[in-house]
Amino acid sequence: MKLGVRILLGYFLIVGLAGVFIQRVFLAEVKPAVRQAMEDTLVDTANILAELAADDMKQNHIADGNFASRVREYAHRDINAKIWSFRKTTLDYRIYVTDLKGIVLFDSTGRAVGQDYSRRNDVYLTLQGSYGVRSTRDVDSDERSTVMHVAAPIIDDGKMIGVLTVAKPNNTLQPAISQSERTILRWGGLLLFLSLAVGLAVTLWISRSLGALQRYARAVTAGERAQPPANGASEIVELGQALESMRQKLEGKQYVEQYIHSLTHEMKSPLAAIQGAAELLDEDLPDAQRRRFAHNIRSQSQRLAELIEKMLALAAIEHRQALDNVVAIDLGGLLDEVVNLLEPRLQKAGLRIHIGRSQLGPKAQPKIRGEVFLLRQALINLLENAIDFSPAGSVITLQTDFSTPGIVKLSVLDDGPGIPSYALSRVFERFYSLPRPDSNEKSTGLGLCFVQQVAQLHHGRIGLHNRGEGGVEAQLSLPADSS
């Protein structure tokens, strides 16, 4: 199971359990709280009615006196009250009065007159001088038929002369209780949903940050250029920066070791040639041989200088993770500039370059974004390779292709001998070079490697293949400018 899913499940489990627990507590407290409020009201009502019934009770007219008459009239009052969100249309109080023996003398419903209520808690406890209250089912099999009874003593001259009880069915408050429960459940469900949404958002945020760090690590492992994540959780950003710092130090160490080994190996041959020619020049030699050895020293020295210069340029670009000074580049102007720079060498080799112009109008031709210096050097390296392998009098073609949406293809085509099949897979290796047709000398073997690095920095690619009719085609593909 992925870390993000674990975080989401753990978060939702904690919030869900807390929500369910709170809901159960609220639901368990709604009904008792409502009934406590009702009981409090019944206590007040019972005591005030007990005071009003005292005179009739003292005169033994509790069943037919003024109090009884008013209570009966109360039961027939027309009521239509809207209490918050529910409507009340009935009056639900039942009032009965007992003597000191617990015998019912008056009942507003008329059903219990003459019965013995002395063992009922409301009457019994009141007669004992305690708080009299009970909750009893009207129908034994129906728990919703409970009725709350609250009693109060009828006092005359400081002596108890009877007991008055006010009763009210509990289910009269059930609409309020049900509405409160529905509200709690509705808001509780909304709380769980919002908690899930927040948990999902946090999980996605963390997963996205971890995913960016994971992609960065995979890119580094694959040897690709990559930048550590710059957005997301601060800890993950710091971890990415620490990994990038560690990668740079490790790669720097390996890079130095590898370059020292490669440079030492590549410098052995020209140094040996220079040393041998210098030793022979100390001897008495004919002028022709002396000039040949002097030429060898000059050519090998030039090769060493080119090797060092190109290695420095390659080392600078290989350590870069992104481009600097990115601008929109006009391809036509760039190609004309490159051809003009190579014109002296073209004339010396007896070659010319043909630039294949697109049939699109100048405004319709897409541009590319990148570093002008790097792209110029990459094109110069490709054309120098073509010049080295092209026979005198031939034409090198430099053409552009905009047929693929979002891609600009720059192709260099020559009429040289082509690349041997065994070398096709190695031409982009550092220091790998093939002998030129007119001599046994090799180049530094760093030009195509430089072009490949430039292509990767521009999110493009470079390909090299033999043409069917002879010669080689080098194709540099770059993203078109989308702005």
pLDDT in tens, 2-19: 666 677 677 777 777 777
Q: Which of 140-149, 212-221, 231-240 has the lowest mean pLDDT?
A: 231-240
Distances (CA, A) of 77 to 91, 167, 344: 8, 18, 119
Q: What percent of the chain has pLDDT over 90?
A: 23
pLDDT at 153 over 60: yes
For residue 86, give the H/E element and its range.
strand 86-88
Q: What mean pLDDT do residues 424-446 have?
A: 73
CA atoms within 13 A on the CB side of 105: 25
Residue 278, pLDDT score: 76
pLDDT at 317 over 80: no
Q: What mean pLDDT do residues 386-412 have?
A: 87
Measured in residues, the chain has a length of: 483
Q: What does the angle CA 218 – CA 222 – CA 223 come to, to the nearest 5 degrees?
A: 120
362: tokens are 């100048």
Distances (CA, A) of 342 to 12, 185, 336, 373: 68, 81, 10, 15
Q: What does the angle CA 427 – CA 429 – CA 430 come to, to the nearest 5 degrees?
A: 125
| Highest-scoring range by mean pLDDT, 74-88, 101-115, 291-305, 341-355 | 101-115
425: tokens are 């897979």
Where does the pLDDT of residue 405 fall: very low under 50, low under 70, confident under 90, or very high at 90 and above? confident
Q: What mean pLDDT do residues 72-91 have?
A: 85
Are 120 and 185 within 8 A, CB to CB? no
Residue 154, pLDDT score: 97
Q: What mean pLDDT do residues 446-469 have?
A: 85
Q: Nearest-CA neighbor of 341 among 424, 264, 276, 398?
A: 398
pLDDT digits (tens, 9 = 90+) for 227-252: 777 776 667 777 777 776 766 665 55
Instruction: Please state, as a whole number, how many other Cβ atoms lie within 10 Å of the Cβ of residue 162.
Output: 27
Residue 471, pLDDT score: 87
What are the E-state strand segments in 372-443? 395-401, 407-413
pLDDT at 219 over 80: no
Where does the pLDDT of residue 361 fall: very low under 50, low under 70, confident under 90, or very high at 90 and above? very low
